[in-house]
Amino acid sequence: MNFLNKCTKAVMYAKSYGIMILLRKIAYKVKDAVTSERESLHFNDFLIKAVQTNQSCRCEALDESIFDIIVPVYNGYEYVVDCITSVLANTRNCRLIIINDASTDPRIGPFLDSIQAIPERAIEVFIRHHTKNVGFVGSVNHGYRYVKSHFVILNTDTVLPKGWIQRIMAPIIQNEDIIASVTPFSNSASICSFPVSCENNKPYKDLPLDTLDACFQLYGPTEPEKIPTGVGFCMAINKKVVDLIGLFDEETFGKGYGEENDWCMRAFKAGFQNVMVMNLFVFHKGTVSFTETYKDDSLAKNLAKLSSMHREYLPMVHDFIRKDSIRDVRDALAMLIDANTLGQQRLVAVLDNSFTGGASLYKETLLGCLKNLGCALLDIQYDFSKNILRIHYTSETREDIFALRGHAVEHIDDLLRHFKPDLAFINSLVSWPNPLKLMHLFRQSSIPYAAVLHDYFYICPNWLLVDATGKFCRIPTDINNCLNCLRSDKVAGFTHFGPDERGDITLWRGTTSAFLREAASVICFSESSKGYFVHALGDIPALSVAEHAVNECFKSSWKLRGMDMDRITNVGIIGAIGTHKGMDVLWELARLSDFKKGRFHLVFIGNTSVVKGGFRSKRKRLTVHGSYELGDLPALLEKHSISIVLIPSIWPETFCFTASEAMALGYPVICFNIGAQAERVKRYECGIVLEEISASAILKALLDLRDFPARVQELSSMTQKYAPPSKEAHFAYVSKILTDISHQDKQGLPDLTLGKWYWENEQKECAS
């Protein structure tokens, strides 16, 4: 499409709908093209910058400057009253220049004439009445005759917060030779709209202006962002630029539409920048702006003139919307405002890593439970492999998913402090940088927290308690053994995560035990794991055992199992199997000559660290199914004609989902005498518990069952006694914690509403 056709199409849109609609159409087209690309991994690094410092405390020595404000007025009495009242109440050190452009409303003149100067706040008032209507452009140009300094052009359908003029003028004062115009955030300001760009938004969450602006003061960047054009509802202008290029082109643009865009483009071509200030929010009613009165064919004509005079204008706007460089700021501000205005809704943070497995499944169920309890959620996940922090925020009104660079972990305390969760669940800190520091920060904070013990990370950085020889260390009483192990164990996963503090087991346990003792709740999933924690860390007052629930699909699938002596015995191994899960033992088992003779077949329902899914040995001694959906497990075990389930873990499982799943389906279980797996099998007498951790011990147990096949059915019948708790019963502790902790109603950002503070302390801060 050539330039003329593009311009004609733009004019037709503008003629029918106006410039705002044209910008929206550009925005929608661009957003459709880039949404899938950006949402794949949306990095919001601004969020960390926002919460590190109190932006609103930065006074830029603007208090000595006197600024001018030009307010063209034409009817709209109620809007005029609200606008002028907010200017007088929330501004200091200014000259208010009001141009009444022959308003026909008889109330306008008397109201304007009643406005008085306010000497104690250095506010001067100049009012001029036109006898003939000249339009917005002519009124602004008339007002400029009285301007003595940098100035703001203000529509009458705006409402200003406290301290606004110092913030909107800061970029110009700091960069007089660079900045031409400054526009703030608003609910309705085309490319400067919040929370959705190029939309006529209602005030976010229907919050009052002071509350919204307070958050922009606190979190909004003080560095301005370059934009292709200012937006004329509230636009600060550098007088030096006007002296160089003139003000609005009244001859070309008549009574209005496109004049501020033309001026911004002329300033841009003269080497200046138009910017947006992001620590200020101005309310724009957006319904009775000055130029609405003049909406006629001049709109289409003016847009055509603008496009002809500045052919790069629409491409620049299109490119800005496509890149959406301030998306991060909008998203982070909206999320922070939402989190701090939840009212009675509680916010719960959950910290976890990106590992898959039982702990990950547990977290998803926990999040579902919290959501059902009506909580807002802040899911924080550290991905060690990519060195990023993933954030998933969910409330009744919004959902945000994005990522932060790895250095954001250092500021997790800032994040939590500003989100102010009512409770934090620590699902797992394995792989997190500086875990001891993080535990210390939680202890120092006022945030109640609960810890979930999926592994033995709080006992040892080597969270599986498997030593350099590949055996369960049994937590030696001689601390020197631990120190030697941590120094020599070069294959354990913890060696990848650093830092050096992980080698000091005394420091480690001193910090973790203090952390757990001060927790609101500490949940483990078996008496076995509870015993290990008490043995290593001493008494933990809030420690309790809450056995995991089992997926509903298993509860209705119990069946009496047996062993057919006329067929090969298929032994099931469920889940992902690595070294700590006994892969080396199984590999050795498959190579034993008696195993080959004994007509056994190992069936892996899941992946292994040695053989990929889909593998089947030529002699049919070993099959690896690969990944599976949990709900498909009962059918998969039936499909492979499993007689008995083997759990070869060489570490003391803290719960062992696979043991519960097998028992719930009626399968006898063989395991070593360590951990929760052995605890449950012994409690229900539904399997064989081996004292010796070896392949030969497993083979002997299998051969014994081949000799006495009726034993399999007998053990299977014992699994009927197993009655896993319901999900509701297990997560009852969550409801109890939420009931026990105090909750402060979050209605009005009490610690973020800094407008009054800023206003009252402005001079004092500048003086100091």
Residue 211 lies in a domain: yes
Please tell me the predicted confidence (pLDDT) of residue 757: 30
Which 3 state secondary structure label does DSSP give 556? coil
Spatial separation of the C-alpha atoms in residues 265 and 260, rounded to whole Å = 9
**How many other C-beta atoms are found inside a 10 Å radius of the C-beta of residue 480?**
9
Domain boundary among the residues 687, 706, 721 is at: 721
For residue 279, the domain's CATH number is 3.90.550.10
For residue 524, the domain's CATH number is 3.40.50.2000
User: Among candidates 229, 112, 213, which has minimal Cα distance to 165?
Assistant: 213
Residue 739 lies in a domain: no
Domain boundary among the residues 521, 545, 569 is at: 545
Burial class (CB in 10 A: 0-12, 13-18, 19+), 508: buried
Domain boundary among the residues 545, 569, 598 is at: 545
CB 58 within 8 A of CB 417: no
Domain extent at residue 472: 340-545
Pairing of strands 376-383, 347-353: parallel
Cβ neighbors of 8 (< 8 A, separation 6 or more) are none
Spatial separation of the C-alpha atoms in residues 687 and 309, rounded to whole Å = 85
Q: How many domains does the chain have?
A: 3
Cβ neighbors of 76 (< 8 A, separation 6 or more) are 105, 156, 157, 288
**How many other C-beta atoms are found inside a 10 Å radius of the C-beta of residue 692?**
11
Burial 120-150 (b: 16+ CB within 10 A, else e): eeebebbbeebeeebbbbbbbbbbbeebeeb
Phi first, then psi: what are they for 451, rounded to 5°? -115, 140
Residue 728 lies in a domain: no
The single residue listed with the structure tokens 């990522």 is 403
Prior bond of 499 cis (ω within 30°): yes
CB 438 within 8 A of CB 412: yes
User: Among candidates 599, 546, 600, 571, which has minimal Cα distance to 688?
Assistant: 571
Phi first, then psi: what are they for 94, rounded to 5°? -150, 160
Tokens of 23: 């910008």
Residues 622 and 535 in one domain: no
Residues 151 and 74 in one domain: yes
Tokens of 130: 């036109």
Spatial separation of the C-alpha atoms in residues 42 and 35, rounded to whole Å = 10
Residue 354 lies in a domain: yes
Residues 214 and 355 in one domain: no
- Distance between first and last Cα of the chain: 59
Residues 565 and 422 in one domain: no
Please tell me the predicted confidence (pLDDT) of residue 291: 46
Spatial separation of the C-alpha atoms in residues 318 and 541, rounded to whole Å = 60
CB 366 within 8 A of CB 416: no
Residues 517 and 642 in one domain: no
Tokens of 567: 């067929």
Element (H, E) at 100: strand 94-100
The alpha carbon dihedral of 283, 286, 288, 289 has a sign of positive
Query: Which residue type is seen at 321?
Result: I
Residues 534 and 565 in one domain: no
CB 229 within 8 A of CB 260: yes
Element (H, E) at 591: helix 583-591
Spatial separation of the C-alpha atoms in residues 255 and 398, rounded to whole Å = 41
Residue 540 lies in a domain: yes
H helical segments located in 224-325: 239-245, 250-253, 259-269, 297-309, 313-323
Spatial separation of the C-alpha atoms in residues 652 and 724, rounded to whole Å = 20
Reduced 3-state DSSP string for 509-530 = HHHHHHHHHCCCEEEECCHHHH
Please tell me the predicted confidence (pLDDT) of residue 484: 86
Residues 373 and 324 in one domain: no
Residue 198 lies in a domain: yes
Please tell me the predicted confidence (pLDDT) of residue 40: 44
CB 585 within 8 A of CB 671: no
Spatial separation of the C-alpha atoms in residues 165 and 60, rounded to whole Å = 12
Residues 348 and 239 in one domain: no
Residue 754 lies in a domain: no
Please tell me the predicted confidence (pLDDT) of residue 56: 45
**How many other C-beta atoms are found inside a 10 Å radius of the C-beta of residue 740?**
11
CB 207 within 8 A of CB 337: yes
Residues 387 and 533 in one domain: yes
Cβ neighbors of 378 (< 8 A, separation 6 or more) are 339, 347, 348, 349, 350, 391, 392, 393, 419, 421
DSSP conformation letters of 160-182: --TTHHHHHHHHHHH-TTTEEEE
Residues 431 and 298 in one domain: no
The single residue listed with the structure tokens 């099959």 is 623
Burial 429-467 (b: 16+ CB within 10 A, else e): bbbbbbbbbbbebbeeeebbbbbbbbbbbbbbbbbbbbb
Residue 469 lies in a domain: yes
Residues 24 and 91 in one domain: yes
Spatial separation of the C-alpha atoms in residues 556 and 341, rounded to whole Å = 44
Burial class (CB in 10 A: 0-12, 13-18, 19+), 768: exposed
Q: Which residues of the chain have pLDDT under 50?
A: 1-40, 55-60, 288-294, 748-768
Residues 318 and 382 in one domain: no
DSSP conformation letters of 681-726: HHHHT-EEEESS-SHHHHHHHHHHHHH-THHHHHHHHHGGG--PPP
Please tell me the predicted confidence (pLDDT) of residue 69: 99
Query: Which residue type is seen at 613?
Result: G
